[in-house]
Amino acid sequence: MQIQEAIVETTEYRLVLVLPDSRKVLAISAVEGYRLPTISIPQWTRPAEQLQKAIKAEWDVHVIVLDFLPSSETSLVCAVAEVLVAKESSDLTAIEAERLQIIELQEQQQAQLKLMLAGGSGLDSPFSHIGWIDEAILWLESETGKTISSKGDIEQYNAGGAFALVRFHTEDHHDYWLKATGEPNAHEPSVTRFLSTLCGDYLPEIVSSRPAWNAWLMSGEAVRVDELPKDPSQLFTLLEDAVGSMAELQMKTQGCSTDLLYAGAFDQGMQVFQKRSVELFDYLEEAMNLQTSTKAPRLEKKRLLEIRTILEKVCERMEDLGISETIVHGDLNQGNILTGVGHCQFIDWSEAYLGNPLISLQHLLLLNKVGNVEVRDFINLVLKKRYLDVWTDSCDSNAVREGFAYMPMLAVASTLYGRGNWLSSLQRNDPRRQAYARSLARHMDLAAQEPVLLEALCQ
């Protein structure tokens, strides 16, 4: 029997690999002159992370990606990277940038590259400057009193514009993260600092902040969950810890609504959902009318109105239950869960919401992908009890149990609404957002049909 390999879609990048001292670039010699090297990486992955790994594997050159030059639909994406450690390669030659074939770069790309090579002050981001990583190393070492093991050990996960995510290893085997964010996530440092102060055990320790970069240094003691365990018992152990830790974290944010909003969290209170439900469902109707695929039937206007009515009732009932509004993590994928410090920690708070805490519980339950339905349902039952045990001292346990019936519907609404600002911007016209909204509307339709939900609403 012939096994067919999965086809992995890739994106090809043109590379400008800069030597920081001479400002020369590494190029490939060809008959017609020198040209820039290219490399392909898988789509739907972190480009900076994959480029760093691919360049190391192909040419034994360790780099830090600085930025991506502007490109048109007809040209290759061009990444500029600073060479940190390089071994001599017969394939790459250091040359002056002027010796490159001009045809390889568009006029706008040439201007941007020239500015970067000259260290120009017109660059939008500090992370586009050659040598910024040396400043970061100095910052880390001065704040921690530790020395990094090697530039060759620096791991990069994000780059471009005002964003950066880099991991450092020190000689005494400690890890630290540097993270920076720009618009539209410029609020993340503020939210993270506030939560770190309030719920410090459940976020990595913040070592230092650098406002000029909108950046902060974090302890890297905990380990990211890059892949969920396949074994049901191991998955249960992870999720039970995550559910308990999230419940404890959220309890610490009770009564902090004003402070959370001031720090940058987005309001997802029940009154917000009720106030904007007409606008939200008008958008869903609009998105459904634009559907061209026949793989899934459209939700007609009548059914959308029925779902809206159910959502509004759910919001009313949730308000009546008296469960305190807390922080809600709007992006609870496994990569944002850390382990290894006695309990789970949580990172990436750019999608931080103020809302009903059970929304986060539902998002954690969605990580339970055990194939056996009976086992999956049993695990979810135990996870709900774990969450309830933490909250029992804070509110009526019967109210939380009733809230369990409403949280699947609310969790979909939370994901759909997000920050809410897209509803009044050009983002609403993005075909990808419209397709995503249609998918979420179908999930909301399924949630609205659940007998447990309908029975709870009838009581």
User: pLDDT-derived band of residue 127, with 50, 70 and 90 as boundaries?
Assistant: very high
The radius of gyration of the chain from alpha carbons, rounded to an integer in Å, stands at 25
Residues 6+ apart with CB under 8 A from 335: 224, 225, 226, 348
According to the model, what pLDDT value does residue 1 have? 38
Q: Are 217 and 192 in contact (CB under 8 A)?
A: no
pTM for this predicted structure: 0.90
- For residue 433, give the 3-state DSSP assignment: helix
In which element (H, E) is residue 16 found? strand 10-18
In which element (H, E) is residue 217 found? strand 215-219
Length of the chain: 459
* pLDDT higher than threshold 70 for residue 7: no
Structure tokens at 304: 């959308």
Looking only at the bridges linking them, the beta strands covering 266-267 and 352-355 are parallel
In which element (H, E) is residue 445 found? helix 431-448
* pLDDT higher than threshold 70 for residue 121: no
Q: What is the mean pLDDT of residues 35-58?
A: 92
According to the model, what pLDDT value does residue 101 have? 63
- What is the set of domains in the chain, with CATH numbers? 10-123 (3.90.79.10), 132-219 (3.30.200.20), 226-458 (3.90.1200.10)
- pLDDT tens digit sequence for 349-404: 999 999 999 999 999 999 999 999 999 999 999 999 999 999 988 889 999 999 99
- pLDDT tens digit sequence for 263-292: 999 999 999 999 999 999 999 999 999 999
User: pLDDT-derived band of residue 76, with 50, 70 and 90 as boundaries?
Assistant: confident
- pLDDT tens digit sequence for 156-187: 999 998 999 999 999 999 999 999 999 999 99
Residue 46: CB atoms within 10 A of its CB come to 15
The overall longest dimension of the chain from CA atoms, in Å, is 80
- pLDDT tens digit sequence for 215-262: 999 999 999 998 999 999 999 999 999 999 999 999 999 999 999 999
